[in-house]
Amino acid sequence: MTATTPALRDANDGAPLAVTSAARILIVEDDFAIASNLHAFLSLKGFDVDAAYSGQAALHRCSVERFDVILLDLGLPGLDGLTFLRRLRDELRAATPVLVISARSDLADKLAGFAHGADDYLTKPFALAEVEARVRALLNRSGAGSVVDPVLRFGTLELDRERGEVRVADSVVRLTPKAAQLLELLLRRPGQLVRRAAIEAALWPDAQPQADALRSQIHSLRKALAEHGFDGIETVHGIGLRLVARARDGA
Ligand code: CA
């Protein structure tokens, strides 16, 4: 599901900005081959995909970020899948749809999964197409993609996807469509490194970007934000970008 956010306007020509808000999926799976297979497939289908390799890491991610669907393995090191699920529901009070994907195929295991708060259950081995179909069904049922907080925030910086505005400390910042899209990618993962390759794939999905295209968008975004006093975009050389709190923007 690719929900296109409405109405961000280009500062230059008034054309709508193509800022997409793909549904966010968290894969919780300790088998790297399975996790990367799911990751590659679902990314290709246009989802915004992340992975955690333990229940503890997944619980932490869910305590600081919001996902639209969680794909959950049960046999995990440390905090197992069922415990993660119970704590997700009881402690974090998160209603995020959870699709259990497990080799445990007994009826008792499936029932335990549902009893702990699963929304759906798929047994391994599975077909990727079926994972996609189940994910889409869960998204449709939960209304994710349409009911999302339209405002992404980091310190004094806000991107309001409903009003089509980027603001720093309440003053409106004019951005090009690509720069706004880049900013959204960073705002979705505050403090975390967002890789160049992922940014390029999101900004230029249909084409190999020209060598300096991303650099020029980064420059334009930084310049526009700096004019409003925000300088929290950090380059990790050769790897990517992240949003960081700096004293002057009070983030
Ligand atoms: Ca496992």
Q: Looking at residue 88, which CATH number applies to its domain?
A: 3.40.50.2300
Ligand 1 centroid to 28 CA: how many Å? Answer: 9
- Give 167's Cβ-side CA count (13 Å radius): 14
Q: Judging by beta carbons within 10 Å of its beta carbon (0-12, 13-18, 19+), is residue 22 exposed, middle or buried?
A: buried
Q: pLDDT tens digits for 87-120? A: 999 888 888 999 999 999 999 999 999 999 999 9
Ligand 1 centroid to 91 CA: how many Å? Answer: 23
Domain count, the chain: 2
Final residue before a domain boundary, out of 142, 161, 180: 142
Distance CA 185, CA 48 (A): 10
For residue 188, the domain's CATH number is: 1.10.10.10
For the chain, count helices (H), then strands (E).
8, 14
3-class DSSP state for residue 152?
A: strand
Q: What mean pLDDT is reported for the chain?
A: 85
Residues 75, 121, single domain; the answer is: yes
Ligand 1 centroid to 127 CA: how many Å? Answer: 17
Categorize the per-residue pLDDT at 212 as very low, low, confident or very high, splitting at 50, 70 and 90.
Answer: confident
Ligand 1 centroid to 76 CA: how many Å? Answer: 5
Domain assignment of residue 34, yes or no: yes
Q: What is the domain extent for residue 138?
A: 24-142
Distance CA 73, CA 104 (A): 10
Q: pLDDT tens digits for 157-169? A: 998 877 778 999 9
Q: pLDDT tens digits for 133-157? A: 999 999 988 766 444 466 788 888 9
Provide mean pLDDT across the span 207-223.
Answer: 87
Residues 70, 106, single domain; the answer is: yes
Q: pLDDT tens digits for 20-71? A: 457 999 999 999 999 999 999 998 888 899 999 999 999 999 988 889 999 9
